[in-house]
Structure 1
């Protein structure tokens, strides 16, 4: 960020900006300077009386030139233009826990706040560790204003505006009849107007409403309106083509083939849908410069088995998805869209991409591929490979974490990355597989050319014994027994719960939960076992807990996150500090703000940041909690 200019620089700018440009004066000045120079050459050897008028002209010219030159040197250079083709779109995984079960149909993003429109339920707002339903009803479309102070949403045949500061809702538009439905609201840059669709029996039309006066006017036939910022223009689609309409003159200009245009907040880019010129007309999202200088494909559709009336249509193919409701975040750094797949049911997925100009390094590509599997998106994990790697996603056990162990370059100039991938599930079981990835770079960045197994270890509870196991689930070497685990005074160790295994330069270590009971009371105690030394260490405990379904450790081994069922049979996540003391757990349910949830589960540690989800009214909300704060 640049520092503010000194006062004298700002004063100089004012002088520069206030200088009137007099072309006749400039011409006369240029002429007189030339004449003065010529006269000086002719009389330079002759002493004569100076002519003050010429020196006045020269002094004025020098002052003007000095101001212009100095200001040009001080002015900050314009930032280089970033073309659409140079943007890097990186998928966000943390949007839904079970892919295809997204109940919302429209999303709006402003800063750290996300709004969701859910038909039959209303509008939800998520910010930080809070979530709430801000409007009830049959919400089908939403749009956040540029400042984030107002949210427009459609419910039934009416369009409402919710004020984020007063929390009040106002009806601003009602459909003229019960046969007309409203859709696709979009804000003007100054927030004084809303453009929207009317779905009428004869055709779809676009209208504009003045919010202050309530006046409405017809714009054109078409759909998907999107204002072009700082210009009296609107983009829209009609019959498979995208147009730009001048709102002052009413003139239309063809922009491109496609539909569903969404202009970026700064007016630089257009996110839109374009169909391929093939028999299936596979739809994909593209980002283009507003002036169509460059563009790039964002999604990558593909053919899949066709369905008809809930039954597979033998020998036929259909697109894997169609695209709906494209949108931008207010800062232009994120895009969102919905992928809809039709089989024997309708599956919907909200897909969000972060935009930047930075290319992923080889180790980041490997990390993102593993993270896609942790977030249960195998299809996206495959996009990081240059070949079909086959089935990757674990189920029981599943991927829960990873560590990049090494990165190098081989003799052929290819990048080589070694990673340890962690697997676990609700039974006392933990596995670590080491894999070597070879990558090469192309115009699309680094892609994985080869994945090679480099060894693995599996540890499990075998009837009260922690042992190694084989890939065929055969019992291996004994590590320690339950009766070897130290007991707390008055408590009895009754069995093992979840495990975590780590290797480091200092040796091998196992963290585990042991089930303890004292009369009618139960709890889970966190402990560790130094494999090389054969010693145990106690940490904190979870009072009243009898069952845990998952435990994951952060990368530094400083904290454990545990999916636990508490005494009231409520799902929760306990975070225990691993610092050698009996610290009390912190429960994430105490940090959340919102209505009761049905489900909660961990997903991934990223440093001290824990990603986790909850389920509310059939929708998953993902959160990030910074355990270091």
Structure 2
């Protein structure tokens, strides 16, 4: 029986998404190749998007301020990858009136909503306008320019390409005029088109036009350099070396991708060209001494209602790696030491070693492992002394599909350097563990690595909660006051194709009593449910359980109210990430598309991230 359990657990670990991703990260070797830039405008059919990527999830309000702030004074408040497409290729995208629009190869143009990706048209855009007039989105397809009416979802051809001439990268100048890139052979120029007369006027040599309406300035790319042209007097000024320019909604900043010594990064510059700042961190690959960054960045675009950037991100020299849409939020106010620790811990939870390392003074080679692994956190306090800020936080640990849970209290020492805090040292000061030790069916409480206190064993559980003799204690959590242990009983099918369920119970340490919270029943005689992990919210009221169903290893997420002893909700094709502000951040897979959502258990409402 033990061999059967271990075999099933091993198979489960191989199927669990996060662990598989981590194994690939740890083992992957980057073979040196010539740099191959992803240019979605010239090579729209990007191949090889695979399974959904791991996401970092932070949420902070970042609305547009009314006053101007120099680019060099803006601080990065977070960098999150929140949307990945697994069944299609991101060809183009745009952010308009608070919504993200994404064009997928062979599928069409979609709007990102609370319900996921909603299809607007089957037409596929290979470029989109970064501005919108009267709910009309400009896009290009195979050398022809179209207008998509967002309300009616109808598209209209406005400038048709030929076998010799193609048009792309449209952008609005005003409601009657657009700029586009006109390609004829190897020559590219930016032309102005009057939509009433369809008269075409040459503006300048180059591509990727973006118009700042208020300032009457045209930003564009020419020979891997970014320029700005004053439409009023015709003067052109060099912005910087780079590609893929975009302008913020308020017309204050230009964004672009710049490569320095093989490292792509996203930069922003004042439209008046006075100050500049790099807003991404591209680290070198782990296992090779190569002179190029780990990631390629393309098409940074500005949010329509926030001081934020969206950018496409993919690992270098790996066309099979997923392309993620990453959000970079900027703010005049620097993030605090507590917020820095929060971001660091969130990065650990979702196994983003690279982002976590960027916040450390001397990062180690590896900072995450498969098991045990972090599953939650709670920042408790902070204090400053002699220029060093010490942040105290609880970090919660679990072991995949096994009865182990730890609450570790850590002190993070941070020093402020310029406009950000850097973690200099991390030390564990206290710990509380609930463990079976050798994964037996006895649970122990261990404080600060000392003596073990027996909590209960499998034989102590009332028979009424045991559906079969083939059962083991599995993932669990303990309340902050250490009074209650919420744990799972995993049934083990003797043969492939036999049903197996999971029971969620609560053990009261004071009363030494067991209470059933919920019973997860298989839906058929051939379905087997396997619980992966559990986590508890900061109030101790809600617990979430991630479960896989066999065959097929379909992920499911169950949410329980521990106080009321009932199930609140459940989601299919999902996986929990962590709790934040008493809301659950979760990843939802929909037809191989992975998106990030925030779920409020008090209102039972789910919001797009």
CA distance in 2 between counterparts of 1:421 and 1:444 reads 26
Residue in 2 that maps onto 1:283: 264
Q: Give the direction of change, closer, same or farther, for the CA distance of 1:136–1:80 in structure 2 (3 Å limit).
A: closer
8 A contact 1:286–1:297 mirrored in 2: yes
Aligned residue among 389, 395, 419 for 2:370: 395
**SS in structure 2 of the partner of residue 379 of structure 1:** helix
Residue in 1 that maps onto 2:456: 480
8 A contact 2:310–2:327 mirrored in 1: yes
Residue in 2 that maps onto 1:453: 428
Residue in 2 that maps onto 1:35: none
Structure-to-structure mapping, 1:295-334, within 5 angstroms: 295-304=276-285, 317-334=291-308
- RMSD in angstroms over aligned alpha carbons? 3.6
- Residue 337 of structure 1 deviates from its aligned partner by 1.4
**SS in structure 2 of the partner of residue 588 of structure 1:** strand
Structure of higher CA gyration radius? 1
Residue 540 (structure 1) aligned with residue 518 (structure 2): yes
Structure-to-structure mapping, 1:562-601, within 5 angstroms: 562-565=545-548, 570-581=554-565, 583-589=566-572, 599-601=573-575
Q: Give the direction of change, closer, same or farther, for the CA distance of 1:230–1:112 in structure 2 (3 Å limit).
A: closer
**SS in structure 1 of the partner of residue 364 of structure 2:** coil
Residue in 1 that maps onto 2:56: none
Residue 336 (structure 1) aligned with residue 310 (structure 2): yes
CA distance in 1 between counterparts of 2:398 and 2:197 reads 60
- Residue 607 of structure 1 deviates from its aligned partner by 2.3
Q: Give the direction of change, closer, same or farther, for the CA distance of 1:556–1:94 in structure 2 (3 Å limit).
A: farther
Q: Give the direction of change, closer, same or farther, for the CA distance of 1:513–1:217 in structure 2 (3 Å limit).
A: farther
Residue 86 (structure 1) aligned with residue 86 (structure 2): no
Residue 274 (structure 1) aligned with residue 258 (structure 2): yes
Unaligned runs of 5+ in 1: 1-77, 307-311, 590-598
Aligned residue among 442, 464, 475 for 1:465: 442
Q: Which is worse superposed, 462-471 or 363-372?
A: 462-471
Deviations 1:136-172 (A, max 9, x none): 3654333354468233333333333332211222233
Deviations 1:262-305 (A, max 9, x none): 111111111123343xxx25332222221123222112335558
Aligned residue among 185, 202, 205 for 1:221: 205
Q: Give the direction of change, closer, same or farther, for the CA distance of 1:129–1:376 in structure 2 (3 Å limit).
A: farther
Residue in 2 that maps onto 1:194: 178
**SS in structure 2 of the partner of residue 230 of structure 1:** coil
Residue in 1 that maps onto 2:92: 106
Aligned residue among 217, 220, 242 for 2:226: 242
Residue 625 (structure 1) aligned with residue 599 (structure 2): yes
- Residue 584 of structure 1 deviates from its aligned partner by 3.9
Residue in 1 that maps onto 2:544: 561
Residue in 2 that maps onto 1:427: 401
**SS in structure 2 of the partner of residue 372 of structure 1:** helix
8 A contact 1:144–1:150 mirrored in 2: no
Residue in 1 that maps onto 2:117: 131
Residue 265 (structure 1) aligned with residue 249 (structure 2): yes
Q: Which is worse superposed, 342-351 or 358-367?
A: 342-351
**SS in structure 1 of the partner of residue 291 of structure 2:** strand
Residue in 2 that maps onto 1:359: 334
CA distance in 2 between counterparts of 1:112 and 1:579 reads 38
8 A contact 2:143–2:166 mirrored in 1: yes
**SS in structure 2 of the partner of residue 371 of structure 1:** helix
CA distance in 2 between counterparts of 1:305 and 1:430 reads 30
**SS in structure 1 of the partner of residue 443 of structure 2:** strand
CA distance in 2 between counterparts of 1:431 and 1:509 reads 14
8 A contact 1:544–1:567 mirrored in 2: no
CA distance in 2 between counterparts of 1:182 and 1:267 reads 25
Residue in 2 that maps onto 1:604: 578
**SS in structure 2 of the partner of residue 93 of structure 1:** strand
Q: Give the direction of change, closer, same or farther, for the CA distance of 1:375–1:147 in structure 2 (3 Å limit).
A: farther
Q: Give the direction of change, closer, same or farther, for the CA distance of 1:238–1:517 in structure 2 (3 Å limit).
A: closer
8 A contact 1:84–1:288 mirrored in 2: yes
8 A contact 1:604–1:611 mirrored in 2: yes
**SS in structure 2 of the partner of residue 373 of structure 1:** helix
Give the helix-richer structure, 1 or 2: 1
**TM-score by structure 1 length?**
0.74
Q: Give the direction of change, closer, same or farther, for the CA distance of 1:254–1:420 in structure 2 (3 Å limit).
A: same
Aligned residue among 490, 496, 503 for 1:525: 503
8 A contact 2:406–2:431 mirrored in 1: yes
Residue in 1 that maps onto 2:14: none
- Residue 627 of structure 1 deviates from its aligned partner by 1.9
Deviations 1:498-555 (A, max 9, x none): 5333353x3353211224799x986433222234553333323334363222322222
- Residue 227 of structure 1 deviates from its aligned partner by 0.5
Q: Give the direction of change, closer, same or farther, for the CA distance of 1:192–1:561 in structure 2 (3 Å limit).
A: farther
- Residue 342 of structure 1 deviates from its aligned partner by 2.8
Deviations 1:302-350 (A, max 9, x none): 55589xxxxx8xx753343343111001124210112343335464443
Residue 207 (structure 1) aligned with residue 207 (structure 2): no
Residue in 2 that maps onto 1:11: none
Residue 141 (structure 1) aligned with residue 127 (structure 2): yes
Residue 551 (structure 1) aligned with residue 527 (structure 2): no
Q: Which is worse superposed, 337-346 or 381-390?
A: 337-346
CA distance in 1 between counterparts of 2:394 and 2:128 reads 42
- Residue 382 of structure 1 deviates from its aligned partner by 0.9
Q: Give the direction of change, closer, same or farther, for the CA distance of 1:393–1:521 in structure 2 (3 Å limit).
A: closer
8 A contact 1:363–1:404 mirrored in 2: yes
Q: Give the direction of change, closer, same or farther, for the CA distance of 1:296–1:213 in structure 2 (3 Å limit).
A: same
8 A contact 1:608–1:628 mirrored in 2: no
Q: Give the direction of change, closer, same or farther, for the CA distance of 1:249–1:404 in structure 2 (3 Å limit).
A: closer
- Residue 487 of structure 1 deviates from its aligned partner by 4.7
Unaligned runs of 5+ in 2: 1-64, 524-528, 604-609
8 A contact 1:464–1:495 mirrored in 2: no
Residue in 1 that maps onto 2:62: none
Aligned residue among 86, 92, 105 for 1:119: 105
CA distance in 2 between counterparts of 1:172 and 1:354 reads 35
Deviations 1:48-83 (A, max 9, x none): xxxxxxxxxxxxxxxxxxxxxxxxxxxxxx965322
